Structures are given as structure tokens and as C-alpha cells.
Amino acid sequence: MKRSTHAVRAAALAGTVALVLTACSGTDDAGTDTDTGTGGGETSASGQPLTIGTLLPVTGSLAFLGPPEIAGVDLAEQEINEAGGVLGADVEIIHADSSDAENAEVATQSVTDLLSQDVAVVIGAAASSVTLNVVDDITGAEVVQISPANTSTQLSGYDPYYFRTAPSDVLQGRALGNLLAQDGHATVGFLVFNDDYGITLRDQAKEAYEAAGGTVVYGNAGQEFDPASDDVIASVVTAALATNPDALVVISFDQTKLLVPALAAAGFDTSKLYFVDGNLADYSADFEAGLLEGSKGTLPGANAAGEFRERLLEVDPDLTDFAYSAESYDAVILSALAAVRGGATDGPTIQQNLAAVSGAEGGTECAGFAECADLLESGEEIDYEAVSGAGPFNEDNDPSAALIGIYQFGPDNKYTWVSEVPGEL
């Protein structure tokens, strides 16, 4: 049995990885065959094509994440259908907008629409706060939800039908905290909005940074700012700079476009800024050239480069950001492989087989839908080699291992990949 040779996945598989679910055979209440053993057939047991909905940001403060995530989904759909589809039928994708937490009604309506169209899987949302508003509706309908970008620790093990291909903030926080220490900053401040995402990521980074000997001088508990108020920007900047930090971590979304110019105007060296996945973006059209030169950021997942990036650009030639594109691609491929393994395209069958096709039960290493589906149809167990570098799902339906990318901004205020840090849970 061939094992994964990727360093991160090898580390994850070598450790103790709990099985999320075991394969079984049976019949559901409606009498539908839910055989979850390996080996598919020419048609699904339900007689229905695999229908996947997306709940990704087209509007709102995270709209910059939408294009790469949607491109990842569309690329996976294209490859699956070119390989003959799932159980003899083409995969069908239905796109819907998640917007953001400040426009919660958008995601709520999108979920209602998707469920009315009998989707078996929902890919999304990007924001953890959006997911927390709708996850019960999705999973309560026995529809699988797989987020390519949720990182909140609150979502680990949330529901048997909830999965994610992005790692929790534990890994990104560790990487960020260690990066701050390695860059020689003795004191650091956090400009963090009062949101579950911001607070949990701050807490994880703070823990790792302080463990390495650093001191957090601003942005501790109780010093978060209201994400809905632009009026607080000046007071937050003044309070943070009064503590004379060596570096500042900005954990926010759209507020970043107000915070950075305010910090520069107050005399702070903006090359000492650090960003996270929620605001690591192309700012070439937003800031004066050179404003962010030298600043850094972290982003979960492998760098979307080489052949994979070229294929994404064939799907969407206008892409400028590639964040979470690989995780979105992986989510669709895993869903399709789970349907093949279980022999049906309904939510419960996919839920029962996701862990197995991710490699949680061992199997032959394979890449891409066609190769992995062929192995499944020949009766073999598989270990899908995730493009994102994520390890098999653990007992909390989180990736058991992942890569955290380190990026740096150039004089054009665009970020480029510098290195990556492996981590495991």
C-alpha cells in the first residue's frame, strides 16, 4: 500500500488520526440504498446526479475571496465531468452568494434557495461567522457542509455533517506568533475587531508569540474594536501606537483600508505590519505605491502555483488573488469521491465516506478525481493527495495537518509567497 510522500500529510498519517466514521451498509428511512463500501457503479443508487451548491462571497467585505474559491470549485467540476462524472452523471454546481456577517440575510436566503434545489453538499461559507448563522439549517437537512476557508476553533467538531478543508486558527495562530518572534519583535500590538474569527486568531497567535518570549502590549482581551464602526479607527490607532510596539498585527476585513493609511499618517513604519487570511489581499488599487512594502502575512494552504494556477486562470483569466482556491477544489473533489465510494449522491452517503476518501483509513495515494475514482471502482481504498496540502480529516472533521503560507508585500502593494510552515493537530 503506497503512502503519501508529502511531508505534511506523512506527518499527519504517521500520528494517531481518529476515524471520523466507519463504512457500513444499510437502508435509510426512505428505503434508499446507502451502501458506503468502496466501488461505485454506472449510476447512483438514488438515480440523481451529484448536485453541489456553493455559499461563497460575491458581495460584502470578503468579496475578494469569492473569485478564487469559485474558480477552484468550477475547475473541480470541469475535471470531474471530463472524467465521466460521478456514477455516470455530470456533477451539477449551483452558485449562491454568502456575503458577510453584516449582511446575514443574504446567506440565509441563499441557503433556503440551495436546499430547495436538493443539493447534497454546500461548499462554504468563507467567513466563520456566516457559517455559524446557517450551519444548523444546512446540517439539519442532512446536507454536507464543507468550508474551504472557515478557521474558527468554535467550528471544530461542530456537527457530523460539517467539514472544512482549511485548518483551524490553531495552526495559523501558531505560525503567525512564531513568525513575529522569528522576525525579532520584542513587543507586538494587535489591531483586532470584536468578532469570533478575530478574537480566536488573536488568542492563538498571542499564545505562540508569548511562549517564544514576546510581549503583547496592545490588543489584549477587552481591547478589540467594533467591526461595524469606522468612527473608532482614529482612537484605536492612537491607543495602539501609545504602547510603542515593534510591530502590529492587523486582524480585520474592510477596516484594513482605513487602518493602514491612519497608521502611516501617525508615523508608524508600515513595513512592520502583519496581516492574516481575512485581509491578505491585493492593495495595488487602494494604497500609494510602496505603502505596504516589506509587510507580511499568513494564509492557510499551499501556494497556488505552477500547473494548478494555470488551470485556475483558464477557468477565470481575471484572477488576481488565489486564496483558498485549492481548498475549494479539494472540497468538491472529496465530495465526488465520497459519492463514488458510497455508490450514491445523497448527503448521508457523502458524509459517511468523506473521511475515508481523505485518507483517514489509509489507502493508495492518488491525485485528482480520475485516478482516485478508478481506484475506488476497482475496490481499493484511497488516500487523496489534497492540492492544498491538507491531511486527512480528523475526529473533528478538520484537516489533521496543513500548510501555512508566509507572504510578503512588494512595492506594488501585492503579496508574494515566501515560504510555508507545516503544522498538524
Quote the pLDDT of residue 228: 83
* Spatial strand order in the sheet of 187-192: 215-218, 187-192, 247-251, 273-275, 296-300, 401-409, 415-424
Name 58's Cβ contacts closer than 8 Å, sequence gap at least 6: 66, 95, 97, 98, 99
Q: How many CB atoms lie within 10 A of CB 181?
A: 18
| Residues of each domain in the chain carrying CATH 3.40.50.2300 | 23-167+304-399, 170-300+404-424
What angle, rounded to 10 degrees, do the helices at 325-342 and 306-315 form? 90
The whole-chain average pLDDT of the chain stands at 90
Quote the pLDDT of residue 10: 35
Percent of the chain having pLDDT more than 90?
84
Quote the pLDDT of residue 195: 87
What cell numbers appear for 73 in the block? 470549485
Residue 419 banded pLDDT, cuts 50, 70, 90:
very high
25 pLDDT higher than 80: no
Quote the pLDDT of residue 425: 79
16 pLDDT higher than 70: no
CA distance 228 to 246: 28
pLDDT, tens digit, 9 for 90 and up, residues 228-245 = 888 899 999 999 999 999
CA distance 142 to 357: 19
CA distance 87 to 345: 8
What is the length of the chain? 425
Quote the pLDDT of residue 230: 85
pLDDT, tens digit, 9 for 90 and up, residues 81-106 = 999 999 999 999 999 999 999 999 99
Please tell me the pTM assigned to this model: 0.84
pLDDT, tens digit, 9 for 90 and up, residues 254-289 = 999 999 999 999 999 999 999 999 999 999 999 999
What cell numbers appear for 224 in the block? 478589540
Evaluate the CA torsion angle 360, 34, 345, 109 in order and state its sign: negative
β 401-409/296-300 pair status: antiparallel
Quote the pLDDT of residue 42: 39
pLDDT, tens digit, 9 for 90 and up, residues 319-366 = 999 999 999 999 999 999 999 999 999 999 999 999 999 999 999 999
Residue 18 banded pLDDT, cuts 50, 70, 90:
very low
* In contact, 369 and 83? CB cutoff 8 Å: yes
pLDDT, tens digit, 9 for 90 and up, residues 285-326 = 999 999 999 999 999 998 988 999 999 999 999 999 999 999
181 pLDDT higher than 90: yes
Residues pairing with 82 in the sheet: none
Quote the pLDDT of residue 9: 37
Mean per-residue pLDDT, 123-129: 96
31 pLDDT higher than 60: no
Ranked by mean pLDDT, which of 140-149, 197-206, 300-309 comes out on top? 140-149
Does the domain at 23-167+304-399 match CATH 1.10.3720.10? Answer given as: no
At which residue does the C-alpha cell 459519492 appear? 339
13 pLDDT higher than 60: no
Query: CATH says 170-300+404-424 is which class?
Result: alpha beta
Mean per-residue pLDDT, 405-411: 98
Quote the pLDDT of residue 229: 86
